[in-house]
A and B are shown apart, each in its own frame.
Chain A
């Protein structure tokens, strides 16, 4: 029974409501637990101009022509959800609350990858849930246009606690792009996001998340993904704006012959504290994957880049690649690569390099007519423009767009 199950989950959560996370600064959540209701809208164009403008930075467009569907949440309310006519019967998008009311079988997915008592953040997401999306792509359906979801905060001193579930059924394929952001400048706030993604046998999920938080925001995503036999999961994560703190350590369970790739582009500014990890667990034979990070630390930002690959079976192969550039004396990058081979035929390797922008590269470009500032921004943009093999054009364009915003951000 789903009802009984949810009750158990809630009880477990309550016991963990004060349990600090292993990593990241501890936050007292209780002062943020007020609820704000928003009125739904029937057209994204009716969003306030300020929001419409801001979401573009996260790759979310009010015009939905090239999107399969949209989920839009402001603060604690779903203000808009829509599936384009031609995609009806191929996938479904709804809030997690609706999904829990509709599907008894969600018991097999909800909180199965991320236990509610992992830490106080997973606990509060359960104790005081305030939305989140449910996306399910039906068996064998290939959704050509991306599904966009936006988790927006427009009031200060609140905590947005979302629980998201994506299920890509057997042989299905989808791109999902999520923008998590706020336009608030001086007010504090918290975003907690529980994300559980299931990629069934032979399915493909291309997921891009672009964060645009602000200097007073704490962000605690908790993500876990199960990629079944022959499935593919590609994750792109981009954060370019200052933030108070982000801490996240997504885990991907990779089954037989499946592939998982995690790419992150991180630009730390002001006094941002960013602690981002990625963990691939190759559970069955021939699972493969890589974790690639490109990091720039400026001002007095502090960035941890943790990446971990665990090879438990024959024929598994993984690669970590972390590169960072420090642009200021008071910034810091800590790269923590972990390779954990638990089978003699698991092949794991890593590369990590952190340093300044190479003077010789700057100089070379200046001999070709770039002035020094142009040379530096060209190198920086080049550094962040990851060449991701097999990345669909749509996702690539979104990343390039986000990186191009760097220039507007005054790099």
Chain B
């Protein structure tokens, strides 16, 4: 298997507070789910892989063997990394269609390709959605769908998904799940979630558990059932035992 992502001695601070402290792990191509208790730095990890500049980063991030640590988010986007936000911000006066055209790198004056209508339909959205100011007045579900719609068009090598399933109703979850199933055929995924229902749609090749911003425990699917039964403390004990040995 080809190594897709590697993180070496990654340390991330936000406003003098250390969020991630000396992380080391690598991911092969495929679908990966990132679990961990609240506040452990999962979103920060995704943001760091995307290159968000609010973070102070040391250590290295490699994408398909290339050191991307110093690249800006737009450069990383061009390398094929896409971050679907948990809570994307509203940008007044900028329409969803403006963003989609940029993602597709087409002239702002030109029309979007017709495939967009299939994507809209698959997410139970109509074309007026494209005219709306991005994320402005969007419901929780609409924000998630907008992120997924962008992702469908971006067709990245690596999709980073920050809780694509939180705060959405059952019907929307199904639509998002189906979309992810489709995306997983072409892209590698790293999904942060607390709702394991999404895994009915995409079957992960590996599970990564992030603990206390310091430890990454990588395992197969079976760890999920252990966590469901025994909580994250079970993994914490495993990690500490591993480190001691």
Q: Chain A residues in contact with chain B, CB under 8 A? A: 358-361, 363-372, 378-379, 381-385, 387
Of the candidate stretches B62-70, B81-89, B180-188, the one touching chain A is B81-89
B residues within 8 A CB of A372?
72, 74
B residues within 8 A CB of A363?
52-54, 73
Q: Is B93 within 8 A of A385, CB to CB?
A: yes
Q: Is B89 within 8 A of A382, CB to CB?
A: no
Q: Is A365 within 8 A of B50, CB to CB?
A: no
Interface size (B, Cβ < 8 Å)?
26
Q: How far is the CB of B192 from chain A (nearest CB, A)?
A: 16
Q: How far is the CB of B144 from chain A (nearest CB, A)?
A: 15
Q: Is A365 within 8 A of B91, CB to CB?
A: yes
Q: Is A367 within 8 A of B77, CB to CB?
A: yes
A residues within 8 A CB of B83?
367
B52 closest partner in A (C-beta): A363
Q: How far is the CB of B188 from chain A (nearest CB, A)?
A: 17
In angstroms, Cα B83 to Cα A378, docked, is 20
Contact with A along B79-111 (1 / 0, CB 8 A): 000110100111111100011001101000000
Q: How far is the CB of B86 from chain A (nearest CB, A)?
A: 12
Interface CB pairs A-B, < 8 A, 8:
A359-B54, A363-B73, A365-B99, A367-B83, A368-B150, A369-B78, A382-B92, A387-B133
Q: How far is the CB of A30 from chain B (nearest CB, A)?
A: 45
Cβ-defined partner of A364 (8 Å) among B85, B92, B133: B85
Q: Is B72 within 8 A of A383, CB to CB?
A: no
A residues within 8 A CB of B94?
365, 378-379, 382
SS of A interface (majority) = helix
Q: Chain B residues in contact with chain A, CB under 8 A? A: 50, 52-54, 72-74, 77-78, 82-83, 85, 88-94, 98-99, 102-103, 105, 133, 150
Interface-centre pick from A365, A369, A382, A387 (highest chain B CB count, 10 A): A369
In angstroms, Cα B91 to Cα A381, docked, is 11
In angstroms, Cα B87 to Cα A360, docked, is 11
Q: Is A369 within 8 A of B91, CB to CB?
A: no
Task: Give the tally of cross-chain contacts (CB within 8 A).
Answer: 64
Q: How far is the CB of A229 from chain B (nearest CB, A)?
A: 34
B residues within 8 A CB of A361?
89-91
In angstroms, Cα B229 to Cα A217, docked, is 75
Given A379-B94, A382-B92, A383-B93, is A367 in contact with B78 using a C-beta cutoff of 8 Å?
A: no
Q: How far is the CB of A160 from chain B (nearest CB, A)?
A: 34
Q: Is A367 within 8 A of B50, CB to CB?
A: yes
Q: Is B102 within 8 A of A371, CB to CB?
A: no
Q: Is A370 within 8 A of B102, CB to CB?
A: yes
In angstroms, Cα B91 to Cα A361, docked, is 6
Q: Is A368 within 8 A of B103, CB to CB?
A: yes
Q: How far is the CB of B90 from chain A (nearest CB, A)?
A: 8
Given A361-B91, A364-B88, A381-B93, is A369 in contact with B77 using a C-beta cutoff of 8 Å?
A: yes
In angstroms, Cα B153 to Cα A369, docked, is 13
Q: Is A378 within 8 A of B98, CB to CB?
A: yes
In angstroms, Cα B52 to Cα A293, docked, is 32
In angstroms, Cα B90 to Cα A344, docked, is 36
B residues within 8 A CB of A364?
85, 88-89, 91
Nearest first, the 6 A-B pairs at minimum CB distance are A382-B93, A366-B73, A382-B94, A367-B73, A369-B77, A366-B74
Interface-centre pick from A371, A379, A382 (highest chain B CB count, 10 A): A382
In angstroms, Cα B105 to Cα A366, docked, is 13
B88 closest partner in A (C-beta): A364
A residues within 8 A CB of B85?
364, 367
B residues within 8 A CB of A366?
72-74, 77
A385 closest partner in B (C-beta): B93
Interface-centre pick from A367, A378, A379, A387 (highest chain B CB count, 10 A): A367
A residues within 8 A CB of B78?
369
In angstroms, Cα B15 to Cα A359, docked, is 15
A residues within 8 A CB of B93?
379, 381-385, 387
Q: Is B98 within 8 A of A360, CB to CB?
A: no
Q: How far is the CB of B89 from chain A (nearest CB, A)?
A: 5
Q: Is A368 within 8 A of B92, CB to CB?
A: no
